[in-house]
Amino acid sequence: MNDFWTLSPDEWTAIRLSLLVATVAVVASLPFGLAIAWVLARREFWGKSLVNGIVHLPLVLPPVVTGYLLLISFGRKGPAGQFFEQCCGLVFSFRWTGAALACAVMGFPLMVRAIRLSLESVDRRLEDAAGTLGASPPWVFLTVTLPLIASGVIAGMILCFARAMGEFGATITFVSNIPGETQTLPSAIYTFTQVPGGDEGALRLTLVSLVISMAALIASEWLARHAGGAGSITS
């Protein structure tokens, strides 16, 4: 039984890589998530429904389709991939950075939705009062709006993190399943299920994944309550 809980170096690498990829996905998504959520919550414009649909498209598209679209767009021969490689030497295809991009895309709709709902529940009179006292719009957002939506932002970040931890289809299509480079927890579990005698390793990593995901949900509840009590995931 003790041997069951002994993780191999490759398994530790998959766990660390999953945590890195999920964290980078959340951090990279947050500024864009705040901006898009604010636009969708506060502005009326032609094509708003189209923008909203594009943002939420990864939720309804098969993950493999999303991964393939990323491959042809951000691969070495894709227009975006060539731009980032020439501009700042950033390569996505078959790299952990590509896994982070795929996870960010898949978790982005969940983050935007949580933040948008929080923004729509804010009493606009509080923001207007700050504006009448001479505060600029950016300062109003930082000092009034952001604290009021903190619980929603936290919930969105945790949802994005949890989705990134469980992402498989888009990731394996875009960056493959390379041990030590792009093999995250779901990919490692899949690998174990494809080899004879791999059931024990698959179960071990499944339990690790369950623990990490549950810890993320509990942390979300605690942080959301201390940030204002509204907008927790399970409320």
pLDDT tens digits, residue range 41-50? 988 888 889 9
pLDDT of residue 107: 94
pLDDT of residue 148: 87
Q: Percentage of residues in the chain with pLDDT exceeding 70?
A: 93
pLDDT of residue 60: 92
CATH number of 9-228: 1.10.3720.10
pLDDT tens digits, residue range 95-150? 999 999 999 999 999 999 999 999 988 888 888 888 888 778 888 888 888 888 98
Take residue 206 and report the two structure tokens written for it: 């499944």
- Between CA 56 and CA 52 the distance in angstroms is 6
Question: For residue 87, what is the enclosing H or E element?
Answer: helix 79-88
Instruction: Give SS3 for 2.
Output: coil
Query: How many CA within 13 A on the CB side of residue 91?
Result: 8
Phi, psi of 41 (to 5 degrees): -85, -30
Q: At what angle do helices 48-60 and 9-42 cross, to 10 degrees?
A: 160
| Amino acid occupying residue 75 | G
Q: At what angle do helices 199-226 and 150-166 cross, to 10 degrees?
A: 170
Lowest mean pLDDT among 2-11, 24-33, 165-174, 205-214: 2-11
pLDDT tens digits, residue range 149-178? 988 898 899 889 989 998 999 999 999 998
DSSP 8-state code for residue 230: -
* Domain boundaries defined on the chain: 9-228
Take residue 19 and report the two structure tokens written for it: 């945590």
- Between CA 230 and CA 218 the distance in angstroms is 15
